Structures are given as C-alpha cells and as structure tokens.
Amino acid sequence: MRVLVPLVSLVAGIGIIAGCSSIQPPPATKILDVSHSLTACQKTDLMWNDKIIPTIYSELPALTAPGVWDLFTLAKTSFTIRSLTNDSDELDVGHRKLVHAWGAEARFRFVSSKRANGYTGIYESGSDCVIGRLSVATKPTKSTTVPALALKFFISGHKSENLQIMNSTSGQKSHNFFEMPFSNIIPPPASFAKRLMQKLFRNAAVAFGAKDPDPTHLTVEHLAKIRVDGTAVVTPKSPYRLIFKPTMTASAFMKDATVDTDFRTNLARYPVGQVMYDVYAVDKGESPDDLPASKLVGQLIPTSNIVASSYGDEKLNFQHNMEK
C-alpha cells in the first residue's frame, strides 16, 4: 500500500502536465472533424446539439482516480506528442482520458474588452462560438482538488483553436472550483515525481520542435493569428500570458463546496449569462499579480447551462498548444 500511494500521485502528476488520454497502437486514420465549410457557430451548434446534449448523463458516473498501470502509458513520448499534434476536435480512435477524465461542458461567449493593447485575432474580435470543459485532474480528496478549464474557439472554414489553463499541478486545498485564477503559465511542479514527468514532457516537446519546450508554459499566440471568420492576421500581436480571474460572483458561488459534493452537480447550478472570469493579458516581463483595468482583455460568460456528458468525457479533445 505504501508503494501504491506515491504511484497514484505520480500518475496524476504526469497526466496534468502531459495531457488527458491514453494511447493504444496508433490508428490507421484520424477522426475527421466536422466540415470546415461550416461557420464557427454552425460548428458549435453541431457539437453542442448533436454530440454533447444527446449524451448528457442521466446519472453522474462516480469520480475515479487513474490506475497505477496508467503510469506506463502516460510516460510514453508517443502519448505526449499526440497531446501536442492532435488538432482534431475528438480523441483518436482507441484513446480514453486517464486524467481530467471527469468534467462538464458549457457554451461560452468571450467578450473582448476592446482595450486589448493592440492584440489581434480573437483578442480583438471576441467570439460567440466557444465550448469549454471544466474538469478536475483526478478524484478530489478531502484536502486537495486540481481544477482546470479547456476552451475550444470554433473558426469558420478552419480547425478550432484551443486553450488549456489551470492554477497549478499541485492543486488547492479548497473544493471551490472558482477559488484560484487560471493561466496558460503555471508554477513548476513541487514534488520529485512531477518534476521527473516534467522532464519527460520536455523531451517530447523538444522532439516536437517546440520553440519553448517548458511544459508549464503553453502559448497563447495562436489566438492572435486568426479571426473567427477564418481570415489570417497579417501582423499578429499576442500577449505572453493570460490570467482568468474568477469574478466575485463566481468565487462566492461554490465557497461552501466540500469533497462530499460532486463538483459537476455544483457547476450545473451556475447561472447562464453570469460572467465567470475576467480575462487579463500580460506581456513578457510584466507581473501577473499586477492586474489593473487596463490589462483586462475580455470576459468569459457561459451562454448555456453547464452539463456533464459522456461525449465530453470520452471523445472531446483539446489540443495543447506549443509554438514551433
């Protein structure tokens, strides 16, 4: 039993850094996304109405932690690279999520503040065509939960652009999903096990050809390079870091949450149309702790109820973004 506990912790640590799905022998063909000929919001409608809504759980499955043998799968370079290279909206055939396995989805609107300091693309235009997944990395314990958010920005005539954010791989003591801000840049792992897995992921990122192979730093440059209508930005300008700060209303919403209350049940009560996050943009060298109003780049607002579905848990894929 003494051996199992650190191994389970190690599995969770690997998955948080490296991705969400297991890997089987590589499939012969890749899942095809919905037609690129559709508009951004038509694609959002298709995924929401035809895939997520029909698979809403009638009864929530029990939250589980990754198994010990998942360690060997998660440590494979071939697995890690797929989290960077799979730009499909769905996981490869034969893959399943080992961490962040349980979550809930909602439609979102990203409203640009119009004070984007010249940032281009989605930062400038905002988007009404977003699906997000709120998840926990592994089964919460009495003392720890590790929440995260993934966003899929649908683009007309183009593949979707994805964003993955969290606070840290160590998690938080509170079970309030909205306790801490999320970012694309997180602190380095504290434990030896997670530092080891960070090194393995860095090796895979180098093999991938990442400009910055640091696994605790996912880029946000891709969101500046394209508009929601699918047109490319000639001279893109992007922030270095995004900070998603929960609003006071969101922070208070789950302030009494405990490990005995399923986070998905709590999220299902979140009011539609209530701002969830204020989104701040920070340039390189600027402090993420200093967030004046001038740094506000937009707000993230749910435009649907938050629902838990088997499609979201078993098929929905969010690419991890690293610049080459």
Q: What is the pLDDT of residues 48-60, one digit of tens each?
A: 999 999 999 999 9
Tokens of 155: 């683009």
In this prediction, residue 199 carries a pLDDT of 59
In this prediction, residue 119 carries a pLDDT of 95
CA distances from residue 123 to 115, 295, 313 in whole angstroms, order as listed = 9, 12, 28
Q: Where are the domains of the chain?
A: 4-314
Q: What is the pLDDT of residues 112-153, one digit of tens each?
A: 997 667 899 999 999 999 999 999 988 999 999 999 999 999
In this prediction, residue 81 carries a pLDDT of 62
Question: Lowest-pLDDT range, 45-54, 63-72, 81-90, 188-197?
Answer: 188-197
> What are the start-end ranges of the E strands in the chain?
102-112, 127-136, 147-155, 158-166, 182-183, 241-246, 277-282, 296-302
Higher per-residue confidence, 225 vs 214: 225
Could you give phi then psi for residue 39, rounded to 5 degrees? -75, 165
In this prediction, residue 207 carries a pLDDT of 54
Q: Is 101 exposed, middle or buried (0-12, 13-18, 19+ CB in 10 A)?
A: buried
Long-range contacts of 230-239 (CB under 8 A, 24+ apart): 230/40, 230/155, 230/156, 230/157, 230/158, 233/120, 233/121, 235/120, 236/120, 236/121, 237/118, 237/119, 237/120, 238/119, 238/120, 238/121, 238/123, 239/117, 239/119, 239/123, 239/281, 239/282, 239/283, 239/297
Cα separation, 103 vs 81, in Å, equals: 23
Question: Residue 54 in 3-state DSSP?
Answer: helix
User: Does the pLDDT value for residue 2 go beyond 60?
Assistant: no
* Those residues with Cβ within 8 angstroms of residue 158's Cβ, 6 or more apart along the chain or in another chain: 36, 226, 230
Q: How confident is the model at residue 25 (pLDDT cuts 50, 70, 90)?
A: very low
User: Does the pLDDT value for residue 38 go beyond 80?
Assistant: yes
Contact 11, 76 (CB under 8 A): no
The DSSP-derived string for 149-208 is EEEEEEETTEEEEEEEEES-SS-BS---TTSS-EESB-PPP-SHHHHHHHHHHHHHHHHH
**What integer is the mean pLDDT of 46-73?**
87
Q: How confident is the model at residue 22 (pLDDT cuts 50, 70, 90)?
A: very low
Question: Lowest-pLDDT range, 43-47, 200-204, 247-251, 311-315?
Answer: 200-204
In this prediction, residue 206 carries a pLDDT of 55
Question: Residue 281 in 3-state DSSP?
Answer: strand
* Those residues with Cβ within 8 angstroms of residue 151's Cβ, 6 or more apart along the chain or in another chain: 108, 110, 130, 131, 132, 162, 163, 164, 165, 300, 318
Q: How confident is the model at residue 7 (pLDDT cuts 50, 70, 90)?
A: very low
User: Does the pLDDT value for residue 29 go beyond 80?
Assistant: no
Mean pLDDT of the chain: 83
**What integer is the mean pLDDT of 302-306?**
98
Question: Lowest-pLDDT range, 103-107, 187-191, 239-243?
Answer: 187-191
